[in-house]
Amino acid sequence: MSHPHPELTAPPALPDNGLRVVALGGLGEVGRNMAVLETKGKLLVIDCGVLFPEDHHPGVDLILPDFSYIADRLDDIVAIVLTHGHEDHIGAVPYLLKLKGDIPIIGSTLTLALVEAKLKEHRIRPYSMAVKEGQREKLGVFDLEFVAVNHSIPDALAVFVRTEAGTLLHTGDFKMDQLPLDGRLTDLRAFARLGEEGVDLFLTDSTNADVPGFTTPELEIAPAIDKVFRHAERRIIVACFSSHVHRVQQVLDAAEKAGRKVAMVGRSMVRNMGIAAELGYLRVPDGILIDIKKIDSLRDDELVLICTGSQGEPMAALSRMANREHRIDVGPGDTVLLASSLIPGNENAVYRIINGLMRLGANVVHKGNAKVHVSGHASAGELLYCYNIVKPRNVLPVHGEWRHMYANAQLAIASGVHEDQVVLAEDGVVVDLVEGVAQVTGVVECGYVYVDGSSVGGADEALLKDRRILRDEGFITCVVVLDAATGKIASGPEITARGFVEDAEIFQQVIPKVERAIEEAVAKGVLDDQQLQQVIRRAVGSWVGGKIRRRPMIIPVVLQA
């Protein structure tokens, strides 16, 4: 089993008979999925998603893949293929198309509808082509065939790529639900047929690879949701992803049985479910939907609200309800149903919301105390089935943290794939398929690109470190006015501190230390403002570290008078 090493360097030129795969996101993380395929000088992009920020990304709205690898080769991109409509697979498309707006987008009907609605907000009119399972399209040096797969959103596709250098099968996100709500199974017959033809490189979803057995069918959670609806005393508030059509369908069906009306809360939820209903992927019972503005006309026990915020997103509706910053006041007797799993890294944010809602008196039902969610990803048993059916020559686990990809690699080896033909890679690592053998050949630049308000790429790790220090350690300013002629202190030092529990008076203790440090520096001939600022920073930092055991941001200001 090959894997990347820290000493990797830039890759060599790709041989004419080679197929190169570079993941710009989605390897070693849950989200930001994006793979770039290259052969004969042409590029094919598979997915282009976002990663949602965590607590250590203060102020960041979204995290994008790093496009620098392809930024000067945009004319070589033949298309962007989208496997399904979740944000972690389509959310970064607008930012890539801002670099070159006429790159064709290929995907299923629902996927394209969701991404086109997003692009409309960015005022981008894309060139798009809708495809469906069984369809085959030739795009220059890439020959694509699309395969139906089952996931937690309708219309998901795997893509099989034929090139002169070899073949590649990318599953996208998938599972093998044998009782799907929409009757659309993962097409294992197509997988077997492609396996017979020969799959040189198999890119497989790793998200649930460390979960034994088989993922529970969606159908089995309906009784648990119905039970929640039967026992709810007042309002029912359901939180899920704004693109989780199957879950919303189950909530609508349960509401119909319980005689309740449903209101959608949140712009993305209203938009996406409207698209799904219009295209026929969501069956909305007659008369069940009402506008959010009319909920006050109904009794609490007649109402269901469907909103976003199941991952603890601070600006989502559920978070604002928990913080009493939303027009909907959650209180005793209300039932809140978190109908989704926890994305790794979001646990603390979600538990904060659960605690906040329970503190307000709500009954919170979640995956931990009821069977109200099933995963959209294949577990270990399903992945083994796929390996045995496809019988790939080489395997590259994708989509997941390192532990998920490692577990997936072990499954591939257990199914008979030779250890040397299982490649574990991280974002930016270059994997070349040459003459039927896949191996790591180098690494390209592939960092996080932050969307911070209207800025894209302006924020960097240094800025986030400053924000974390301000948030966690506080800050101190020290203003000193020096006599320009003598270099002696004319005024100050004036100390201002924020973010400390200590009284302001305690900071007066550092003033003599600052005065002494300045006098010693000036005596040695240090008169430059920036150097004197460093002197002040060291003096204050040394004192506050020893006295208060904190490492705040220190902002020294030196003025000449």
**Which residues fall in the annotated binding site for substrate?**
373-377
Closest C-alpha among 185, 210, 243, 224 to residue 373? 224
Strand residue runs (E) in 389-474? 394-398, 429-434, 437-443, 449-452, 455-456
Q: Can you give 55-105 as a three-state secondary structure string? A: CCCCCCCEEECCHHHCHHHHHHEEEEECCCCCHHHHCCHHHHHCCCCCCCE
**Residues near 26 by beta carbon (within 8 Å), at least 6 away in sequence:** 32, 33, 34, 35, 47, 49, 88, 398, 399, 427
Exposure letters 470-500 (e unless 16+ CB within 10 A, then b): eeebbbbbbbbbbeeeebebeebbebebeeb
Half-sphere exposure of 89 (CA within 13 A, CB side): 29
Asked if 361 and 331 touch (Cβ cutoff 8 Å), the reply is yes
The SS3 of residue 320 is: helix
Using alpha carbons, list the distances in angstroms from residue 52 to 89, 122, 190, 344: 12, 19, 34, 11
What residues does 16 pair with on adjacent strands? Answer: none
What is the CB neighbour count within 10 angstroms for residue 271? 18
Phi and psi at residue 139, to the nearest 5°: -120, 85
273: left (phi over 0), alpha (psi -120 to 50) or beta: alpha
Exposure letters 222-252 (e unless 16+ CB within 10 A, then b): bebbeebbeebebbbbbbbbbbbbbbbbbbb
Q: Encoding tokens for residue 324? A: 């009493």
What is the CB neighbour count within 10 angstroms for residue 217? 17
**Which residues fall in the annotated binding site?**
373-377
Asked if 211 and 408 touch (Cβ cutoff 8 Å), the reply is no
Taking the CA atoms of residue 6, residue 8, residue 9 and residue 11 in that order, the dihedral angle to the nearest 10 degrees is -150
Closest C-alpha among 197, 246, 213, 211 to residue 85? 246
